[in-house]
Amino acid sequence: MAPSYFARSAGWALAQLGPAPIHCLRPADCSGLPISLLNPAFSNFKFILAQPMPSNSDATRAMAVAWNLCMTMPKHFKNDTLRKEALFTRLRGLFCGRGFTTTSFGSASPAGALLRFDGSIDVVVELKNEPGAAGDVYMQCASSFEAAAIHQLKNQGSAECAAFVVSVDGPNLLICGGFKDDGVSVVEPLSHWCSMLPDGLGERQEVLAKHLYALHASLDQLKAPARGKVSKCPRIYDSFQTIDAKTRPLEFISPYKPRGSHCLLLFKAKAAIIDEPEEVLVKVVRGRYGEHAHRAAAQQGFAPKLYGVAEVNGAPTAYVMEFFSKEEGWMPLQYTSLQSQEQWKLLEAQSVKFLTFMRKNRLVHGDLRPNNILLRVKDSSVELRILDWDWAGEFGSARYPLNLNQEAKLPGDAGELITEEDDCVTMTDWLKKVRDPSFGLLY
């Protein structure tokens, strides 16, 4: 399907029902890994955007280009071609004279592309003369990137393609990241739309300048295609820091979706914790994570061992921890069958020990539903591990997230403090429900 038709609602709505949709968030379930996990250039863009504008020659150029664009792009242009010429003329100042070329990639002929000497793609641009003209320029951009990436993978023998994708809708500009390997195409906005309209206070010009500066400063980090990387896994974490500040290599194996879990950013990986590589679990988290509570519980055998973290500027944090497999006998509480009264007593005793430990150390967890309670049952023993320490922390400071799912039916509400009583009520109530013979029919 030509990108110009994909831009129309009738086009993309049909195409996205196919076996290989572009993961561009339209519709919302067409989503891949967060784009900042797929190439260091994208996480670097986000990091730079969050910093104050520096005082250097590149920033000065970006500011000058932004002011020129804000004086030029609000004008009336008779057609796409005239607007495109005005845009690319001003952008030459940002890229030190490097120009955008009009190149066809199979069925796609984007407004322009910024190419390297070897023909690999740095930036793909699509443009509509006025907002709402002939469909969604963002969707057209996504389709054009995919066509350009397929062309690069085929003609250069590349393993993957990553490029910046710029949508221009009249006087509005959106910078996205685009990524493709042999498994999936992902296009996602890296920030919000920038308005290329003049501002007497210079605020809109400064916002645009910051975006342009971040784009230019991140181009060099578009990695050369990497071979041997696993599809649908992060590309930016090659190592992690252990608790004792040692750097260890980290190799992703596959996405991991345990039964009963709703977390989408779990991965199996290999890491040399001591000597030989062993299988570990990597959890990618944006924002707060109860690292202190997790470590404290792990030291007492109540949680997976937390081996270390991988941090990249502008990207979420990856927590590397002990992996408990089904093959070793570990199962979530709601899928575990306890055959005897003695086993139930052992589980209840383990639960009391855990809750007592948390209370004595003034720690709270917040989400002790059965999918976060892992068990390994043998004839005369029941082992317990608590998962998902995202909300955990010290009593009096840890809170439920603002986007708390009300269907979870937890004791607290969004934004409220997590209490020791909340953890006790949640865990004991679920143990009672799971013990009920009708539980398997209701869950």
With 50 as the cut, is the pLDDT of residue 441 above it?
no
Are 336 and 373 members of one domain?
Answer: yes
pLDDT level of residue 104 (50, 70, 90 thresholds): confident
What are residue 291's phi and psi, to 5 degrees?
-60, -45
Average pLDDT over residues 243-251: 92
Residue 227 located in a structural domain: no
Are 212 and 117 members of one domain?
Answer: yes
Q: H or E stretch including 357? A: helix 341-360
CATH number at residue 344: 1.10.510.10
Are 118 and 9 members of one domain?
Answer: yes
> What are 308-343's pLDDT values in tens digits?
999 999 999 999 999 999 889 999 988 887 778 888
pLDDT level of residue 227 (50, 70, 90 thresholds): low
Comparing CA positions, the residue from 93, 107, 77 lying closest to residue 168 is 77
Are 338 and 300 members of one domain?
Answer: no
Are 217 and 245 members of one domain?
Answer: no
Residue 417 located in a structural domain: yes
Are 342 and 306 members of one domain?
Answer: no
> What are 340-352's pLDDT values in tens digits?
888 889 999 999 9
Residue 23 located in a structural domain: yes
Residue 259 located in a structural domain: yes
With 50 as the cut, is the pLDDT of residue 434 above it?
yes
With 90 as the cut, is the pLDDT of residue 60 above it?
yes
CATH number at residue 315: 3.30.200
With 50 as the cut, is the pLDDT of residue 443 above it?
no
| Residue carrying structure tokens 């995202």 | 390
Q: Report the share of the chain in percent with pLDDT over 90.
A: 73
Average pLDDT over residues 61-79: 97
Q: What is the pLDDT of residue 273?
A: 85
pLDDT level of residue 439 (50, 70, 90 thresholds): low
Residue 61 located in a structural domain: yes
Domain stops at, among 262, 293, 322:
322
Strands 239-242 and 247-255: antiparallel
Domain stops at, among 221, 250, 275:
221
Residue 159 located in a structural domain: yes
How far is CA 74 from each of CA 22, 93, 136, 175, rounded to the nearest angstrom? 31, 19, 19, 19
Q: What is the pLDDT of residue 335?
A: 83
With 50 as the cut, is the pLDDT of residue 16 above it?
yes
Are 186 and 248 members of one domain?
Answer: no
> What are 184-200's pLDDT values in tens digits?
899 999 999 999 999 99
**Rounded Cα gap, residues 185 and 179, in angstroms:** 6
With 70 as the cut, is the pLDDT of residue 226 above it?
no
CA angle 166, 167, 170 (to 5 degrees): 135
Q: What is the pLDDT of residue 340?
A: 82
Residue 318 located in a structural domain: yes
Are 20 and 131 members of one domain?
Answer: yes
Give the least confident one: 138-142, 207-211, 226-230, 408-412. 226-230
Q: Look up the domain containing 376 and give its range.
A: 332-442
- Provide the domain count of the chain: 3
What are residue 173's phi and psi, to 5 degrees?
-135, 135
With 80 as the cut, is the pLDDT of residue 291 above it?
yes
pTM: 0.91
Average pLDDT over residues 107-115: 87
**Rounded Cα gap, residues 393 and 291, in angstroms:** 8
Are 61 and 37 members of one domain?
Answer: yes
Residue, of 144 and 258, whose pLDDT is higher: 144
**Rounded Cα gap, residues 85 and 72, in angstroms:** 11
With 80 as the cut, is the pLDDT of residue 259 above it?
no
Average pLDDT over residues 425-441: 78
Are 211 and 258 members of one domain?
Answer: no
Are 79 and 192 members of one domain?
Answer: yes
> What are 373-384's pLDDT values in tens digits?
999 998 788 999
b/e map 399-424, b = 16+ CB within 10 Å? bbeeebeeeeebbbeeeeebbeebbb
Domain stops at, among 221, 254, 283:
221
Residue, of 234 and 227, whose pLDDT is higher: 234
Are 253 and 364 members of one domain?
Answer: no
Question: What mean pLDDT, rounded, does the chain reach?
Answer: 91
Residue 138 located in a structural domain: yes
